[in-house]
Amino acid sequence: MKNAIFYYYQLSSYDIHKIDKAYFFKSSSYDLALIPTMLDNKEIEDLNNLSIRLMNLGIETNQIIYNKANLPITNIDGINYVLIKYNKGKDQIITINDIMYFSNITTRIDLKEKIKWKKLWIDKIDYMEYQITHFGKSNPKIRESFSYYVGLGENAISLINSLGENYAMSVQHTRLKHDCNFFEFYNPLNFVVDSRVRDVCEYIKSKFFSIKNLDMDSFIESVEDYIVNQKYSRDELILFLSRLLFPTYYFDLYEQIVVGLKDEMSINLIIDRVNNYEKFLKRIYLYMCTFVSMPDIEWLKKNN
């Protein structure tokens, strides 16, 4: 890999170490990473332009380094890579305050396109229902639980029907985990344009289903404080609730199980917390109802 780095980038590299499928190394005083990608040159160029706009706002994103052919993608031994220069690495984990700062700063960019969440979610559920029909027999635990989580997804989709256009677009991430480090957080290859509620909702769900013995009262209070501090519009609150309802945590794990990356019994980690998550959703919904008129969701209004 050292020879390839010099050939394609004219960089001397040392202290190269491989983590998963990426190569991390130093060159002069810089920290760099060669990361495999499924994106094409045009997609990466667009993300690079977005990253430059963020840097102009004072956000120190990782930088995409072009190769000697002035292209962002380099094919090495049949694999497409992108070279990234970074300042903050894998040893520091983000907090909810980092999400707030990043999301609010990036709303200053003129991002007019609205994400069609409803269509994306409907297509996802339709595809998974097709899968469960054809492959579900080999995964009985998923087959048992699948209809419940489809129901949650359909609840989220129905909320979108009451949505207006009063919400801010921001730079967000493809899927933000609660243990995301700064390298991944500022990596342009992870950026997407979406409502500013996307990242925080995925962070909340990840934290809820990943941390054992989570202090529920403290956790809920932190979410309520975040909502108040962000001063969300009614449409943003509807998006926030719909994103919490939509079970990406289940569907992501489902997909890993179906392709053999995870054991089916790992789904129990989610199923075993279903009652607590319902309580959490009810608390957040009722809290929102105290200061804005929310769509009527009967099962969230019922007492436990």
pLDDT digits (tens, 9 = 90+) for 208-229: 999 988 999 999 999 999 999 9
The token pair at 56 is: 């102009």
Q: How much is the pLDDT for 131?
A: 82
Q: How much is the pLDDT for 18?
A: 92
Q: How much is the pLDDT for 286?
A: 95
Reply yes or no on whether the pLDDT at 89 is more than 80.
Answer: no
For 140, phi and psi rounded to 5 degrees?
-60, -35
Rounded mean pLDDT, 274-283: 96
β-partners of residue 83 are 34, 65
Reply yes or no on whether the pLDDT at 273 is more than 80.
Answer: yes
Mean pLDDT of the chain: 91
pLDDT band at 70 (very low <50, low <70, confident <90, very high): very high
pLDDT band at 114 (very low <50, low <70, confident <90, very high): low
Portion of the chain with pLDDT greater than 90, in percent: 71
Reply yes or no on whether the pLDDT at 136 is more than 80.
Answer: no
Q: Which domains does the chain have, with CATH numbers?
A: 2-86 (3.30.200.20), 96-301 (3.90.1200)
Q: How much is the pLDDT for 166?
A: 73
**Residue keyed to tokens 């099962």:** 299
Reply yes or no on whether the pLDDT at 304 is more than 60.
Answer: no
Q: How much is the pLDDT for 160?
A: 87
pLDDT band at 86 (very low <50, low <70, confident <90, very high): very high
Q: Which residues of 198-224 are buried (b: 16+ CB within 10 A; e: fewer)?
A: bbbbbbbbbbbbeeeeeeeeebeeebe
pLDDT digits (tens, 9 = 90+) for 260-270: 889 989 999 99
Q: How much is the pLDDT for 44?
A: 95
Cβ pair 93, 181 in contact under 8 A: yes
Portion of the chain with pLDDT greater than 70, in percent: 97
pLDDT digits (tens, 9 = 90+) for 160-188: 888 777 787 899 999 999 999 999 999 99
